[in-house]
Amino acid sequence: MHPLDEAIALRASALGDTRHQFMGATHPAYANMVGPFGGTTAAQLLQSVMLHPERLGEPVALTVNFAAPVADGEIRFVARPVRTNRSTQHWIIDAHQAQNDTEGVVATATAVFAVRRETWSDVEAVMPANVPVPEAVPRMPVKGMPAWPQRYDMRFVEGAFPAVFDEQEQAHSRSILWVRDEPERALDFVSLAAISDSFFPRIYIRRRRRALIGTVSMTTYFHADSALLAQVGTRHVLGVAKALNYRHGYFDQTGELWSPEAQLLASTHQLVYFKD
């Protein structure tokens, strides 16, 4: 079993309203410096809808709010369909953990699912040109890194994670990289949700200086349907990320995830807390 599939494995809860509740847990293979990688939490929140018997269609939008640090251990997910229309469905999902003897919300999410139809389609964003194929780019060394970056094969074309924090401020924070699960795993919505959170915090690229950071909110729009994801299979996708603005303790960054055939699979945005 792939470690991501282990990490997102949820079981129906025997407590309360079992239709909406799922139990999951953090997984050591996706550990961050403290607690789990936020991308796996996002994937678990999405998975609780994917597994829900009342689900309609496939995800088109997912917003995850990281409300409190997630501790290593069990997480209780509650996924509720709050509105089902003919071709769209709206969800509110929250994640709970026992902390200091009381249970608290550690994350909330909203998701929009939809049954899609073929229409006029076009990519208006521009995929970076002249990017070498993944085989021509060395993999980022992961030795000494937390567990989660070791679960990705990242090949930076531009804007790599700094080898040293030399405090040399850069002109911008843009990164271009090939990324896939490590070991290989066929791309699906949950892995794409996790990859959406795999862009390193832009402030590290920009300032090459350590800072305490934490994503507070992340939104991903899924442009791909499952048929397009299946075409990507286990290959790398091209990630592009940049920051827009840093101010008074928060910055935002925006990312694109492209198929090798230049289809925009997802666009993703997040707001990050930082302390300098």
Give how far Cα 25 sits from Cα of 9, 11, 152, 224, 230, Å: 8, 10, 20, 28, 27
**51: enclosing H helix or E strand:** none
What character string, x for contact with a second copy (CB under 8 A) and - otherwise, covers 55-94?
A: -----xx-x-x-xx-------------xx-x--x-x-x-x
Does 121 bind a second copy (CB under 8 A)? Our answer is yes
Listed ranges 43-51, 151-159, 178-186, 249-257: which one lies at the site for a second copy (CB under 8 A): 249-257
Q: Is 247 in the site for a second copy (CB under 8 A)?
A: yes
Count the residues in the chain. 276
Structure tokens at 74: 């069990």
Token representation of residue 245: 């603005």
Amino acid, res. 37: F
- Minimum CB distance to a second copy smaller for 153 or for 256: 256
Please report whether residue 271 would count as binding a second copy according to CB under 8 A: yes
Q: Which of 12, 244, 261, 262 is close enough to bind a second copy by CB under 8 A?
A: 244
Does residue 117 interact with a second copy by CB under 8 A? yes
Is residue 138 reached through a cis peptide bond, with omega within 30 degrees of 0 on the bond before it?
Answer: no
Which residue number, 32 or 99, has a Cβ lying nearer to a second copy?
99
Which C-beta is closer to a second copy: that of 86 or that of 143? Answer: 86
Closest CA to 178 of 163, 198, 162, 194: 198
Instruction: Give Cα separations from 44 to 36, 97, 192, 243 (angstroms).
Output: 12, 14, 12, 26
Nearer to a second copy, 152 or 258 (CB): 258
> From residue 246, how far is each of 34, 167, 249, 272 by CA, in Å?
24, 17, 7, 9
CB atoms under 10 Å from CB of 142, counted, come to 17
Which residue among 152, 156, 161, 246 contacts a second copy (CB under 8 A)?
246
Site string for a second copy, 187-216 (x = CB under 8 A): ---------------x---xx--------x
Q: Is 256 among the residues that bind a second copy (CB under 8 A)? A: yes
Q: Which of 9, 35, 51, 116: binder of a second copy (CB under 8 A)?
A: 116
Q: Write down the residue that tokens 């993703």 correspond to.
A: 268
Partners of residue 177 on adjacent β-strands: 156, 239
Which residues of this chain interact with a second copy, rule CB under 8 A? 60-61, 63, 65, 67-68, 82-83, 85, 88, 90, 92, 94, 104-106, 108-110, 112, 114, 116-125, 172-173, 202, 206-207, 216-217, 219, 221, 223-225, 242-250, 252, 254, 256, 264, 267, 269, 271, 273-276
